[in-house]
Amino acid sequence: MTVTDFLKTLGNSADAVNLTLERLLQMHDDPEAELIEAMRYAVLDGGKRIRPFLVVTSAALFNVKHERALRVAAAVEMVHCYSLVHDDLPAMDDDQLRRGQPTCHVRFGEATAILAGDALLTKAFEVLSDEKTHPDANVRSDLVLALARAAGPEGMVGGQMLDLIAESEELNMPEITRLQRMKTGMLIAVACEAGAILGKATPGAKHALHAYAHDLGLAFQIADDLLDVEGDEKTVGKKTGKDEEAGKATFVSLLGVERAREQAGVLAGQACDHLDLFGKKADSLRNLAAFVINRQA
Amino acid sequence: MTVTDFLKTLGNSADAVNLTLERLLQMHDDPEAELIEAMRYAVLDGGKRIRPFLVVTSAALFNVKHERALRVAAAVEMVHCYSLVHDDLPAMDDDQLRRGQPTCHVRFGEATAILAGDALLTKAFEVLSDEKTHPDANVRSDLVLALARAAGPEGMVGGQMLDLIAESEELNMPEITRLQRMKTGMLIAVACEAGAILGKATPGAKHALHAYAHDLGLAFQIADDLLDVEGDEKTVGKKTGKDEEAGKATFVSLLGVERAREQAGVLAGQACDHLDLFGKKADSLRNLAAFVINRQA
């Protein structure tokens, strides 16, 4: 598959996820409609939809019905986007720009942004536990459990707490690795795991996907740190140079640009090695690993 | 059952729920431990635990194992308490006092309070989808779906959005009823519904409990509005006179104190009428209805 072909695949997947999100968050004309508007603003329009792509592509390894994978992909993206909305709040990172647009609280006000984040998180679990997502209740319940663990205090939210602490404490390499694994890695991992749960995969296949996602998540984060240092604000679509400004230790501040780039490459290669048992069927996941470390935004 | 006996029953139930919450939110010594501390601060210590009592008492109608009901009760209380933490934030109601103590953001800072709320909401779904809550995945999945619907944009969060709007718009009686049904009624209703789900109740029994909870929820809210007008800050444990100060229409501002009190009584009576099919087994739920409209805090 050429790079152009892969970007087309990624774009088609994003389109399908956007359509699913749009259907799950339908506008209405009740007086509280602005809440839905803010939720839609936070999840629609923009974003490469890497986590949804991981759900859909992992699920495809096990021949899961596309509509089911798309609903789960949408739920994972809702959780990702709620975390961005809350992360951007004045009391947190105080960001004005996200994907080149005003952040949710700049556009709708702080109170509505807090509620829109809460509503997206809640909606994600509603989607997963709905029979439309999978007729087998074991699958639905396992999806909820996996997503809640990845997003909760032992996962993403715990990682955000560590991120707050990182503003005032100098973290070392193992500490930053743990922070990033919790803050971004676990949601990336659960995206792959969700595909395996939907497909009732064998423990071996689950394990391989988990190992892939683990390495991919770290590679992704290093690439993100590199973009913060080297990226152009217009292309990246959000403020850059933030970590340095906040005095936060990152993979790049600890390793330097050159070694960080090298390390991202090693991790991406390692990620792909875990996919051997799937053969050519996993090529999209391999292409994603290459894409993730080379992206400009 | 005398009033004293009922208060004892309510207190014992609260103790059991507190113990369950404490076990579900264990402190650790990882660097992000302050997040757990803030979550514990928000849910432990204080509170009458009315929603948990509804879960446990409804579940008892169907002879559900006590430990299962307690886990679900804890999950519902986590959702209730997360909503209080976010509701108290400066961008929302900007409250300093809750249950006689500094609110979560006053004690831990705004960023940690936002994350603690997020983490409690997520943890609730983790608890419900865990096999320890119920061995039947259909029950677990149904619990998640019911709680997510009650707490999400069509439920509690939608109601909070309406509450924001109520600050600048004069609502009429049907609008306030809808607001309160969404903001507080649906979580009260799902507490009863959860007992029925755990007990695999018949549709008739489910319907009766739902009707009870609906009327109880409105009676509860009117009593709350009355406390805001007439209650003593020290006894109530939070700022009173808030609605009037904010110029918010409430049941009391629309009906007047006397008619509001009357209406609460009528609703509590109506709530009890729906319980006839359960006979004496439902006496605790009947006592709760009387308690709710007579409470001083």
Three-state DSSP state, B28 = coil
What's the confidence (pLDDT) of residue B234? Answer: 66
Burial per residue of A180-218, b for 16 or more beta-carbon CB atoms within 10 angstroms, e otherwise: bbbbbbbbbbbbbbbbbbbbebeeebbebbebbbbbbbb
Nearest-10 Cα torsion for B225, B227, B228, B232 = 180
Residue A127 distance to chain B (closest CA, Å): 8
The model's pLDDT over B83-138, given as tens digits with 9 standing for 90+, comes to: 999 999 999 999 999 888 999 999 999 999 999 999 999 999 999 999 999 999 99
| CB proximity list for A173: less than 8 A, separation 6 or greater | A254
Token pair of A49, please?
A: 């939809």
Cβ B86–A114 below 8 Å, yes or no?
yes
Token pair of A191, please?
A: 């995206």
A157 contacts in chain B (CB < 8 Å): 35, 115, 118-119, 122
Token pair of B297, please?
A: 């805090």
User: Using an 8 Å Cβ cutoff, are B25 and B36 in contact?
Assistant: yes
Cβ A161–B130 below 8 Å, yes or no?
no
User: Where along chain B do its domains lie?
Assistant: 3-294
Q: Radius of gyration of chain A from Cα atoms?
A: 18
What's the confidence (pLDDT) of residue B270? Answer: 97
Distance CA B80, CA B123 (A): 12
Cβ A148–B125 below 8 Å, yes or no?
yes
Find, among A81, A4, A10, the residue nearest to A39 by Cα. A81
- pLDDT tier for residue A231 given thresholds of 50, 70 and 90: confident
How many CB atoms within 10 Å of residue A48? Answer: 17
Please state whether the predicted TM-score (pTM) of the whole model is above 0.90.
Answer: yes
Distance CA A155, CA B149 (A): 24
Q: What is the pLDDT along chain B (297 residues), one digit of tens a residue?
A: 788 899 999 999 999 999 999 999 999 989 999 999 999 999 997 788 999 999 999 999 999 999 999 999 999 999 999 999 999 999 999 999 988 899 999 999 999 999 999 999 999 999 999 999 999 999 999 999 999 999 999 999 999 999 999 888 888 999 999 999 999 999 999 999 999 999 999 999 999 999 999 999 999 999 999 998 887 666 666 667 777 777 788 889 899 999 999 999 999 999 999 999 999 999 999 999 999 998 876
Residue A236 pLDDT exceeds 70: no
Q: What is the DSSP string of B240-269?
A: -SHHHHTT---HHHHH-HHHHHHHHHHHHH
| CB proximity list for A226: less than 8 A, separation 6 or greater | A252, A257, A260, A261, A264
B111 contacts in chain A (CB < 8 Å): 91-92, 164
What's the confidence (pLDDT) of residue A238? Answer: 67
Domain A3-294 in CATH: superfamily?
Farnesyl Diphosphate Synthase (1.10.600.10)
- pLDDT tier for residue A1 given thresholds of 50, 70 and 90: confident
How many beta-carbon contacts under 8 Å exist across A and B?
A: 160
The model's pLDDT over A30-40, given as tens digits with 9 standing for 90+, comes to: 999 999 999 99
Work out the average pLDDT over A95-119.
96
Residue A233 pLDDT exceeds 70: no
Q: Which of B122, B145, B165 faces A31 most closely, judged by CB atoms?
A: B165
Percent of chain A scoring above 70 in pLDDT: 97
Distance CA A113, CA A102 (A): 12
What's the confidence (pLDDT) of residue A275? Answer: 97
What's the confidence (pLDDT) of residue A250? Answer: 87
What's the confidence (pLDDT) of residue A230? Answer: 82
User: Using an 8 Å Cβ cutoff, are B92 and B8 in contact?
Assistant: no
Distance CA B297, CA B285 (A): 19
User: Using an 8 Å Cβ cutoff, are A85 and A120 in contact?
Assistant: yes
**A94: closest chain B residue by CA:** B111
A31 contacts in chain B (CB < 8 Å): 162, 165, 175
A126 contacts in chain B (CB < 8 Å): 144-145, 148-149, 152
Q: What is the DSSP string of chain A?
A: --HHHHHHHHHHHHHHHHHHHHHHT----STTHHHHHHHHHHHSS----HHHHHHHHHHHTTT--HHHHHHHHHHHHHHHHHHHHHHHSTTTT---EETTEE-HHHHH-HHHHHHHHHHHHHHHHHHHHSTTT-S-HHHHHHHHHHHHHHHSTTTHHHHHHHHHHHTTS---HHHHHHHHIIIIIHHHHHHHHHHHHHTT--HHHHHHHHHHHHHHHHHHHHHHHHHHHH--HHHHSS--SHHHHTT---HHHHH-HHHHHHHHHHHHHHHHHTTGGGGGGGHHHHHHHHHHHH---
B128 contacts in chain A (CB < 8 Å): 144
Residue A93 distance to chain B (closest CA, Å): 9
